[in-house]
A and B are shown apart, each in its own frame.
Chain A
């Protein structure tokens, strides 16, 4: 129930539609008893022998009108509740869009685009059922039910109780479901997840399966997962169906106790024929409403899960931002005793170094040493655990986020482009830049030529070009974009240069253009690239083990010398199919 309340809270700003929906749906439910009263009056007159054609026509007219009015108010009410629901969905989605802007980038990466899309689209869509149907229809039904029950109580309270006597049976069945749910639902979900991942694996791994001639064994695993899912789903449903058929059958059969009781009261003389007829009619009218109240029950656990995911996203901590916009001491970057852990796993420990303004500083180390984290912390993907990162002598957390972003270009392997023209994609770097400026940058970034070869040139839309743009071409466009931005600090992941082995030299040339005159912090993977760096920082398991210039490091650090050695070896490596006589070294 609390889920309903929380979801409902999101709808608060749509009060107008909410009130309208409630009002209309409640009226619809109340109007719903009019035809029963009319029929009661007809029956009374018929059995009393006073029924006239005129009364019949009048009563039929009232019935027609009330039925029309009932469906009219109901449909208009549902239209209003849908309006409310879709407004609320929109509000939730927009809130989520804003939320992403204030969340730390690192957390967004942790979610992954697939999971975020699922929350944005599917999970939020699921709330429609609660907002447009479960809440307004539930409330309408409860009020309609109350109207009938009150009327019934006024007519004969004993029969009212008898009519309501089926409810415990219904609840017994519902509690049976929720008891089963806790036991078997988890198994069912698990089997369902298991099946889905096995299917995905089977389909995505088909190439490998065929290449290794493992069709038989992979298929038997696939078959097992599917049969497991069938078994658990049938297992869960079989126990549910028992209870479902119980409440489906009991709840609308309000006459089960009411009719025999009415007979007893009538024969004992404590009930008139008129009230007998009225009570039977009213009791029967309760049935569908009772059933309608519980139809949403089985899907609640699912909706609760969806809402939980939405709520969790909204409750993610936001990145605190400062207000400073000016950089007092230029654009040098320095780490002061920085310690950082990601999901409780320590990544950086007490890291200190200085990347001088206008100089090239390289971070080297084995994979997993924490190199990329240094760049990501500088771009505030996360905030440091302890210590501080300073730019221009001031803690980066004191700057306005926009001001910080304006000073940094982060060039990584992620070469995301928007689904618009290449021209617009480069212009992202500096909104309002002229076509000439864009082309100049494109030339420097070595992408002008291939762009001009496309039929639409700079107006080619990236999404439509699709696979026509290779990874390396995309990369060069992102470099042109960064060049246009012209930020004083460049964070470069050197792996970028090998995204397209065929055109490595072009990307390298583009990068050289980008780095000109900037403060550069490069995450280096190939030592040859950074031998000329002004400063090299060697990381190992999150700690700085040594720093200095290449020649000095070769002398001072055996670890560095060893890294250099093995780098040289792999650069000289060649393919040979001859069997080696003996293992060298």
Chain B
């Protein structure tokens, strides 16, 4: 638990001072907690001395009230410092993280890390900020209370103080046992929870199939089994922790009883004045209270630590090396020279060379998994080549400043991302300084002006997650309008884009037609009919470019392309019939 305090202080950085101050305040507050007990003791000693007067009532009242008010202020102050600082720290961390994310390599985002990053920022950090800080508060006030108790008892009577020290030591040992149980059980619990989540997800996602195939009984049983075993594990965990908790509590029971017994015997033997003994009797009930509550904190501190672990993992990811300083030349031809590349294991490209002349159409075709998408990814440096080079206008892409490189390329891929903002701002994203006329012009070219105007709020309609009213094809066309506005000289296009929305294929095609005017186009083609007039077709198969030429040249070669063409002919002419 103390480890957690240290970690949070390290995370706090410049706020550590504030946190330390809050610890001091919390300590003082715990000290004041004993004031009413002292007053009770004071009253008892006065009674025993036959010196209690009416004005003592007012003295008592004022002192207790004073301590209560002071505690209120201290408490407010230190909670503010502690939890308030928690929010400050987490806000700062979120912002630094946001800044870092901008400098992580592109591939990092396309590799399925999105869920991981998002859950760290939106689940783990809030936990640290709320529950973690709360745990910190409880740990500190508990420890402060224990320390104060020991010091007070030692100063009243060192023997009784010693008993308390021994009890705390014994309690500390049994607490280790509880922590061991938690350490052993919590990964098991987590695994069980993960099992439940995946069983539930499979059930919920599979429900259309379950209904369609009348598998209700069977599948419901599978998910119910997972639900039941979650119950069993949870109950098991509770039962396992019962004994260690009982031992921990037993230490304090023994401590209380022994302290009372010692004080009694000392009082009988005259070793302890009666009022002091009475003071001990009352105080002993409050002595162990805050520390006993530690049993409820175990899981809270553990989850906080796990959250901090994940957060640190994310912070350990390397940022991009952006050494390039040059600008993209005015010539926009693209050349690959003997490019070799692998994603780690197994070669993906093995000696690929080609030149895509400026303002021409270059089509990449070939079976899936052949390396077409990788070629596009290497041009925009989602990845860097292992050997060989990628050049734009004769300049190696590695020497080009990354922002400048991206500024000169538009990618139209299947996964369209629109922001939770108005359609206007989503288009404007392509070129922030664009005028209203230019935005509308781009929308018209992308064949989306009409459907935008048909929306109740027109260009002010919200797109993105919250605007589910837009169809896949409509979103696609908005993203094309954005690219038209950007007007980058190089376009990388995945043709599958067009089949996102078969109902509106024609509109998407026309939008793309506008986008690619006068540009250097590299297209990952699926439907060969659309590239019959391409300036060159590169057939990518088995890590290499196996054929290249125009449509007619390739058809005459009777090779891979010829084979693909036969297949596509068949698919294109499909009719439902028997």
What residues on B are CB-neighbors of A569 within 8 Å?
A: 506
Q: Is the CB of A576 within 8 A of B57?
A: no
What residues on B are CB-neighbors of A201 within 8 Å?
A: 419-420, 464-465
Q: Is the CB of B214 within 8 A of A405?
A: yes
CB distance from A550 to the nearest CB of B (A): 10
- The tally of residues in A whose CB lies under 8 Å from a CB in B reads 171
**10 A/B residue pairs, CB under 8 Å, sorted by A:** A75-B242, A75-B249, A83-B238, A113-B204, A237-B87, A256-B61, A410-B212, A515-B578, A570-B505, A572-B529
Contact with B along A271-313 (1 / 0, CB 8 A): 0010011001100110010000000000000000000000000
Q: How far is the CA of A241 from the CA of B75 in the complex (A)?
A: 9
**Which of A245, A261, A512 has the most chain B CB within a 10 Å cutoff?**
A245
CB distance from B479 to the nearest CB of A (A): 8
Q: Is the CB of A97 within 8 A of B224?
A: yes
Q: At the interface, yes or no: A37 with Cβ under 8 Å from chain B?
A: no
**Contact among A204, A492, A495, A526 for B417, CB-based, below 8 A:** A204
CB distance from B359 to the nearest CB of A (A): 6
CB distance from B147 to the nearest CB of A (A): 20
Q: Is the CB of B212 within 8 A of A575?
A: no
What residues on A are CB-neighbors of B239 within 8 Å?
A: 79
Q: At the interface, yes or no: B52 with Cβ under 8 Å from chain A?
A: yes
Q: Is the CB of A46 within 8 A of B267?
A: yes
Stretch at the interface among A219-227, A348-356, A389-397: A219-227
Q: How far is the CA of A87 from the CA of B234 in the complex (A)?
A: 10
What residues on A are CB-neighbors of B197 within 8 Å?
A: 117, 121
Q: At the interface, yes or no: A229 with Cβ under 8 Å from chain B?
A: yes
Q: Is the CB of A90 within 8 A of B417?
A: no
Contact with A along B225-263 (1 / 0, CB 8 A): 001101100110011001001100110111011101100
Shortest beta-carbon contacts, A-B, top 10: A525-B502, A56-B264, A501-B526, A367-B503, A67-B253, A64-B257, A60-B261, A570-B506, A71-B249, A245-B75
Stretch at the interface among B35-43, B149-157, B553-561: B35-43
Contact-residue size bin, chain B (C-beta under 8 Å from the other chain): 35 or more
Q: Is the CB of A566 within 8 A of B506?
A: yes
What residues on A are CB-neighbors of B200 within 8 Å?
A: 93, 116-117, 120-121
Q: Is the CB of A75 within 8 A of B102?
A: no
Q: At the interface, yes or no: A552 with Cβ under 8 Å from chain B?
A: no
**Contact among A63, A234, A498, A577 for B518, CB-based, below 8 A:** A577
Q: At the interface, yes or no: A329 with Cβ under 8 Å from chain B?
A: no
Q: Is the CB of A575 within 8 A of B512?
A: yes
Q: For the complex, would chain A's binding face be called helix, strand, loop or mixed by DSSP majority?
A: helix
Q: How far is the CA of A237 from the CA of B47 in the complex (A)?
A: 45
Q: Is the CB of B260 within 8 A of A63?
A: yes
What residues on A are CB-neighbors of B98 within 8 Å?
A: 202, 219, 222-223, 226
Q: Is the CB of A242 within 8 A of B76?
A: yes
Q: How far is the CA of A233 from the CA of B125 in the complex (A)?
A: 14
**Contact among A47, A253, A261 for B274, CB-based, below 8 A:** A47
CB distance from A562 to the nearest CB of B (A): 12
**Contact among B94, B209, B264, B532 for A60, CB-based, below 8 A:** B264
**Contact among B110, B207, B529 for A207, CB-based, below 8 A:** B110
**Contact among A42, A248, A281 for B260, CB-based, below 8 A:** A42
CB distance from B332 to the nearest CB of A (A): 11
Q: Is the CB of A525 within 8 A of B224?
A: no
Q: How far is the CA of A388 from the CA of B567 in the complex (A)?
A: 43
Q: At the interface, yes or no: A2 with Cβ under 8 Å from chain B?
A: no
Within 8 A of B (CB), among A41-82: 42-43, 46-47, 51-53, 56-57, 59-61, 63-64, 67-68, 70-72, 75-76, 78-79, 82
Q: Is the CB of A575 within 8 A of B205?
A: no
Within 8 A of A (CB), among B509-525: 509, 512-513, 516-521, 523
Within 8 A of B (CB), among A395-412: 401-402, 405-406, 408-410
Q: What residue of chain A has the Cβ atom nearest to residue B407's Cβ?
A: A213
What residues on B are CB-neighbors of A459 within 8 Å?
A: none
**Contact among A57, A197, A530 for B465, CB-based, below 8 A:** A197
What residues on B are CB-neighbors of A379 within 8 Å?
A: 212
Q: Is the CB of B530 within 8 A of A574?
A: yes
CB distance from B110 to the nearest CB of A (A): 7
Q: How far is the CA of A142 from the CA of B342 in the complex (A)?
A: 68
**Contact among A242, A502, A575 for B531, CB-based, below 8 A:** A575
Q: For the complex, would chain B's binding face be called helix, strand, loop or mixed by DSSP majority?
A: helix
Q: At the interface, yes or no: A189 with Cβ under 8 Å from chain B?
A: no
Within 8 A of B (CB), among A225-270: 226-227, 229-230, 233-234, 237-238, 241-242, 244-246, 248-250, 253, 255-257, 259-264, 266-268
What residues on A are CB-neighbors of B419 within 8 Å?
A: 201, 205, 208
Q: Is the CB of A280 within 8 A of B60?
A: no
Other CB < 8 Å A-B pairs besides A205-B419, A367-B501, 13 of them?
A46-B278, A56-B265, A60-B260, A89-B234, A211-B409, A246-B72, A255-B40, A256-B61, A257-B61, A379-B212, A525-B505, A573-B509, A577-B517
Task: Check A217/B432 contact, CB under 8 A, given A79-B239, A288-B289, A533-B576.
Answer: yes
Q: At the interface, yes or no: B549 with Cβ under 8 Å from chain A?
A: no
Q: How far is the CA of A197 from the CA of B502 in the complex (A)?
A: 30
Q: Is the CB of A501 within 8 A of B267?
A: no
Stretch at the interface among B1-9, B78-86, B323-331: B78-86
Q: Is the CB of A61 within 8 A of B506?
A: no
Q: How far is the CA of A61 from the CA of B526 in the complex (A)?
A: 86
Task: Check A83/B235 contact, CB under 8 A, given A117-B197, A284-B285, A379-B212.
Answer: yes
CB distance from B517 to the nearest CB of A (A): 5
What residues on B are CB-neighbors of A207 within 8 Å?
A: 106, 109-110, 417
Contact with A along B208-225 (1 / 0, CB 8 A): 111111111010100110
What residues on B are CB-neighbors of A211 within 8 Å?
A: 380, 406, 409-411
Q: Is the CB of B68 within 8 A of A108?
A: no
**Contact among B99, B209, B257, B268 for A52, CB-based, below 8 A:** B268
Q: How far is the CA of A249 from the CA of B122 in the complex (A)?
A: 33
Q: Is the CB of B403 within 8 A of A213?
A: yes
Q: Is the CB of B215 within 8 A of A428?
A: yes
**Which of A233, A410, A517, A522 has the most chain B CB within a 10 Å cutoff?**
A233
Q: How far is the CA of A257 from the CA of B62 in the complex (A)?
A: 10
Q: At the interface, yes or no: B27 with Cβ under 8 Å from chain A?
A: no
Q: Is the CB of A525 within 8 A of B503?
A: yes
Q: At the interface, yes or no: B198 with Cβ under 8 Å from chain A?
A: yes
Q: Is the CB of B213 within 8 A of A429?
A: yes
**Contact among A212, A229, A241, A529 for B574, CB-based, below 8 A:** A529
Q: At the interface, yes or no: A16 with Cβ under 8 Å from chain B?
A: no
Q: At the interface, yes or no: B482 with Cβ under 8 Å from chain A?
A: yes
Q: Is the CB of A87 within 8 A of B231?
A: yes
Q: How far is the CA of A478 from the CA of B95 in the complex (A)?
A: 45
CB distance from A125 to the nearest CB of B (A): 9
Q: At the interface, yes or no: B486 with Cβ under 8 Å from chain A?
A: yes
Q: Is the CB of A259 within 8 A of B39?
A: yes
Q: At the interface, yes or no: B367 with Cβ under 8 Å from chain A?
A: yes
Q: At the interface, yes or no: B533 with Cβ under 8 Å from chain A?
A: yes
Task: Check A260/B57 contact, CB under 8 A, given A237-B84, A416-B206.
Answer: yes
Q: What residue of chain A has the Cβ atom nearest to residue B232's Cβ?
A: A86
Q: How far is the CA of A281 from the CA of B281 in the complex (A)?
A: 10
Q: At the interface, yes or no: A414 with Cβ under 8 Å from chain B?
A: yes
**Contact among B43, B258, B506, B509 for A259, CB-based, below 8 A:** B43
Stretch at the interface among A178-186, A439-447, A503-511: A503-511
Q: How far is the CA of A134 from the CA of B101 in the complex (A)?
A: 42
Within 8 A of A (CB), among B494-509: 495-496, 499, 501-506, 509
Q: Is the CB of B256 within 8 A of A210?
A: no
Q: How far is the CA of A227 from the CA of B201 in the complex (A)?
A: 34
Q: How far is the CA of A244 from the CA of B76 in the complex (A)?
A: 8
CB distance from A123 to the nearest CB of B (A): 12
Q: Is the CB of A212 within 8 A of B196?
A: no
Within 8 A of A (CB), among B522-556: 523, 526-527, 529-534
Q: What residue of chain B has the Cβ atom nearest to residue A362's Cβ?
A: B576
Contact with B along A373-392 (1 / 0, CB 8 A): 00000010000000000000
Stretch at the interface among A98-106, A150-158, A330-338: A98-106
Q: At the interface, yes or no: A203 with Cβ under 8 Å from chain B?
A: yes
